[in-house]
Chain A
Amino acid sequence: MCIIRVERLQKRFKSIVAVDNVSFGVEKGEIFGFLGPNGAGKTTTIRMLTGLLTPDSGDVFIDGIDMRQSPIIAKMKMGVIPEMGNVYVDLTAKQNIILSGKFYGISRGELDRIADDLLDRFELSERRDDLVKNFSKGMKQRVNIASAIVHSPEILFLDEPTSGLDVQSQRLIKDIIKEMNQTGTTIFLTTHNIEEANILCDRVGIINRGKIAAIDTPERLKRAFEETQSVEISFDKPIDGSLIEESKMVSRVEKRGDKWKLYTDNPDKLVKYLAEFAQDRDLAFTSMEICGASLEDAFMKLTEVRERAS
């Protein structure tokens, strides 16, 4: 059963169509990743799903509740961590969590207990009574997430939750997302970090220029782009990438720092060619790795195809 159902959603800002006839569903208990380049329509979509923006046309159903008709009831079922959302810096970490809980009608005694639990879980216990203005970005984001899940929502919307955070906070947030999902919470996640989506998500939807380019599991999306297999290689001396490109065995060559990423549909043949290439030029390999098709490659392909078509 779809806990989030989106039907023919459309939103325009003057002459720009930000979201164009988008339809999809998210299953109960799923972690759904929503990917797209900047300006693709991710935030506009999430804002419509969470009732912040009213669509020009189309419908959003949250657990069967029509967002247009009963936004408050629908919002009671969800926790939201907006991309630009922030917590109140003039309140303490605990006050922020308690304030959020009050909106959902949780009693004061219960709220105190939940807030203490969350502060422990997010490793903020020692700073519970400090004003958030003195917190780092990662700590603020932890308070932000703790405040959004104070009422144990059925659905959690996260818009770029780990963007710009330190590794420790990123890991903690990913663990919390997984933990919440294991207890039955459906997660809707937008992210720029494709590897994060690859690791966390059961399914991903890719949006580009306001239209859905693909929705599938990360593995199936990767398999659909087998030609994006690659060999990542570095030599002890600088080389001219065009020499490899001339071999016609690669579809694309990318320089990444001191490495070369060579895209091919036949890595085996390319590796054998590279061995010869190195021997002829008296080069030594400093590293070599055969990479399968990645979700990032699938994403790049999908968004490129769309851009070219448009």
Chain B
Amino acid sequence: MQAENLNSQFLRGIMVVTEKNIQIYYTKPPIIIFGLLFPLFMFLAFYLGKELDFQIFFPRLLAMFLFFIASSVGPLITPWEKQAGTYERLLSFPVNINTIILGDSAAGMIFGIMINLVVLAAGLIFLNYNLNILFLIAGTLLGALCFSSLGVLLASPSVPNPSYIMMLSSLIRFPLIFISGIFIPIENLHGIGRILTYFSPITYLVDIFNYSFTSQSHISIIIDFTTLLIFSLIFICGANKLHKRNLMKGL
């Protein structure tokens, strides 16, 4: 009975933290800039004036948007709350660090999925695909979880100003874009470039989306899902460990 109460309290805590994040952080300028405008400008920089086949490029664009958007929320929340003095208050509620981490991840996930749905809908107006909808949904969900958890992990260092974390997150997120088969397909990469792509979680989502839109994948779809799941677990466990270690720092 007590375990049941604790489980429902845990789930309730995650939902309330998520709701709070949605209410407060979705409209913060760093999220608009780092989550929405950056991928848009990246796309424009690489697409305009080049002879890219948009039909082939679109699944990769979708993966890039999901990555940028889902991973943009997490880095902001904890540093922002520590600076504003709301983090200690949040910890005094009947929650633990896992509740907060999962609530922050869920907020990033929901934001990523929402914007991706808009990008997908816009793409499908102009492009014609024989969609594998089940893989697309599963890939979007798992990709959003993986990237939002990465965002929460990036928020774990204790810093005097949230902008430090946004810089750190850009430093890590940008290089990942170039080693993930978004702008250069994996099959065109050789040597160290090719090896590096396997260390980026985006590579596996690009592959899942390629498969969902064109029924062609470079890596096995089972490996894609398994690897994304492993990355997600690593990010969540890492975030838990580091957030716990830095819990009271910066309060």
Binding site for B on A (CB under 8 A): 47, 50-53, 71-73, 75-76, 78, 80, 82, 84-91, 95, 99-100, 102-105, 144, 147-148
Contacts and interface: CB of A to CB of B under 8 A. Distances in A.
Interface in B8-67: 8-10, 12-13, 16, 19-20, 23-24
A75 B93 contact: yes
A85 B96 contact: no
B95 interface: yes
The winner among A53, A102, A148 for most chain B CB atoms within 10 A is: A102
Nearest to B82: A84
27 contacts: A47-B248, A52-B247, A52-B248, A71-B96, A72-B10, A72-B94, A72-B95, A75-B92, A76-B9, A78-B92, A80-B89, A82-B89, A82-B92, A84-B88, A84-B251, A86-B84, A86-B85, A88-B24, A88-B84, A89-B84, A91-B23, A99-B20, A100-B93, A102-B19, A103-B13, A104-B93, A105-B8
A103 B12 contact: yes
A53 B248 contact: yes
Given A52-B92, A52-B248, A76-B9, 16 more contacts: A73-B94, A75-B95, A76-B94, A80-B89, A82-B88, A84-B85, A84-B251, A85-B88, A85-B92, A87-B86, A88-B20, A88-B86, A100-B93, A103-B12, A104-B94, A105-B12
B6 interface: yes
B119 to A, nearest CB: 27
A75 B12 contact: no
Contacts of A89: 84
The main secondary structure of chain B at its interface with chain A is helix
Interface in B85-129: 85-86, 88-89, 91-96
Contacts of A53: 248
Contacts of B130: none
B2 interface: yes
B167 to A, nearest CB: 23
Contacts of B88: 52, 82, 84-85
Contact of B2 (A47, A71, A73, A75): A73
Contacts of A144: 89
A147 B19 CA distance: 17
A148 B93 CA distance: 9
A195 B91 CA distance: 30
A84 B91 CA distance: 12
Contacts of B95: 72, 75, 103
Nearest to B20: A99
A50 B88 CA distance: 11
A76 B89 CA distance: 14
Contacts of A52: 88, 91-92, 247-248
Contacts of B85: 84-86
Contact of B9 (A72, A87, A100, A147): A72
A99 B24 CA distance: 12
Contacts of A80: 89, 92
Given A95-B23, A103-B94, A105-B12, A85 B89 contact: yes
A42 B111 CA distance: 41
A147 B12 CA distance: 17
Contacts of A73: 2, 6, 94
Contact of B96 (A72, A76, A102, A104): A72
Contact of B24 (A71, A91, A102, A147): A91
A75 B94 contact: yes
Contact of B12 (A50, A90, A102, A148): A102
A103 to B, nearest CB: 4
Nearest to B244: A54
Contacts of A75: 92-95
A90 B24 contact: yes
Nearest to A52: B91
Contacts of B10: 72
B93 A103 contact: yes
10 A-B pairs closest in CB distance: A86-B85, A80-B92, A85-B89, A75-B94, A103-B93, A82-B88, A102-B16, A72-B94, A90-B24, A85-B88
